Amino acid sequence: MGRGRRLSERQLPDAGRAAHPASVAHHGLLDRMKARTLRAWSWVHKWSSLVSTAFLLMLCVTGLPLVFKHEIEHVLMREAWAPAHPDGPRLNLDQVLNAALARKPGEVPAFMSFDEDRPVANVTSVKPGDRAGVYSFQPIDQTSGEPAPSVAGHPVMEFLLQLHTDMFLGLPGMLFLGAMGLLLIMALASGVVLYAPFMRRLPFGAVRASKQARTRWLDYHNLLGAVTLTWVLVVGATGVVNTLATPIIDYWKNTALKELTQAYDQPAPAGQRSSLQAAVDRAKLALPGMRLQFVAFPGSTYSTEHHYAVFFHGDTPLTAHLTTPALIDARTGQLAAVAPTPWYVKTLSLSQPLHFGDYGGLLLKILWALLDIATIVILGSGLYLWLAKRKPAR
């Protein structure tokens, strides 16, 4: 009797559940909804990863040497050079510009930048109306007006940078890679959703070494994905922003700078422009305490048809990437405006160095490189898991 009574007591919960079929149906519906939701997230994760994997692998492989671009070019292109007159006076910027253009007859200036550790001004010029954007780049010794050795970039590194930036397709290539970056963000979000129930079954970071190869690689894939999640999200998001550089700059010119051009009837011809040196000196008065970075000539990408845009930046690791232009009337040489860059241009300026870890010196670059290698393993293992799953069972 006692045993029979105990069995009856054990059966009471089952009897209670049997008395409430609505509760059973409710739990079954929730389970089916969860299963459908997980299948949907699994579909998003699979296809967002598969569509973008080949391009993301290319970006990771090309991005690895680009993290150390400055260091590699310093080794490959190091050339002993000294200015012609180290202790002599420097040419003014108009003399430097004339010396550069005399070697490129028929071209017009687009930009002038300045080396930080050499008395060298770099003049970039282009043929008028050249829509292909084939620029001439000339480093000029400011003590003599003679050419100086170029530190613009090693051809191999420039090739990798162009491949990484737009695959040699210009703006369409940049926008396409931006779309691949959005797919990466979708893959990250869906991966987090799928990993959450997985973590309830196994401790975080568990690798089932005794299981078959596919299971082990699944664990490695999940572990590395969880560890690098934040970094991949940051690099992916900044990469997407960088692919929008051209539309961002065009929007800035057509909105924030458009008001400054309404007072002009036509652009100032090159022969009627005011002194470049005087324009830079006037801009320095408007932005004291900041460091001169580069000058954009009228009609170039970073200026209007009527102004010299003289760009300055700060001297800290953060403010060195935040630029502020002073716009100088190309006809009169007078200050037209100091144009603080809007938030979207600042976002672009900060995302470009952050994408390559160019903020905290060599140690941060090494960390970026290690995380880049981990991402390559994640992408490769994800591709392997998909291919292994498609093979028929033995």
Tell me if 388 sits within 8 A of 214, measured CB to CB: yes
Q: How many domains does the chain have?
A: 1
Whether 181 is in a domain gets the answer: yes
Domain that holds residue 187: 48-71+158-244+357-390
Whether 385 is in a domain gets the answer: yes
Whether 126 is in a domain gets the answer: no
Whether 233 is in a domain gets the answer: yes
Whether 295 is in a domain gets the answer: no
Whether 150 is in a domain gets the answer: no
231's tokens: 């970094």
Q: How many angstroms separate the Cα of 94 from the Cα of each of 63, 229, 258?
A: 38, 51, 28
Interior/surface letters 342-366, b for 16+ CB within 10 angstroms, e for the rest:
eebbeebbbbbebbbbbeeeeeebe
Sign of torsion over alpha carbons 128, 100, 246, 74: positive
Whether 372 is in a domain gets the answer: yes
In tens digits, the chain (394 residues) has pLDDT values of 444 444 444 444 444 444 445 444 444 544 665 778 888 888 998 899 889 999 999 999 999 999 999 888 878 776 778 898 888 899 999 999 999 999 999 999 999 999 988 899 999 999 887 655 678 999 999 999 999 988 767 888 989 999 999 999 999 999 999 999 999 999 988 888 887 766 666 666 666 767 787 778 888 788 888 889 999 999 999 999 999 999 998 898 888 787 777 777 677 777 789 999 999 999 999 999 899 999 999 988 888 889 999 999 887 777 777 888 999 999 999 999 887 788 998 899 889 888 988 876 789 999 999 999 999 999 998 888 888 876 654 4
Whether 15 is in a domain gets the answer: no
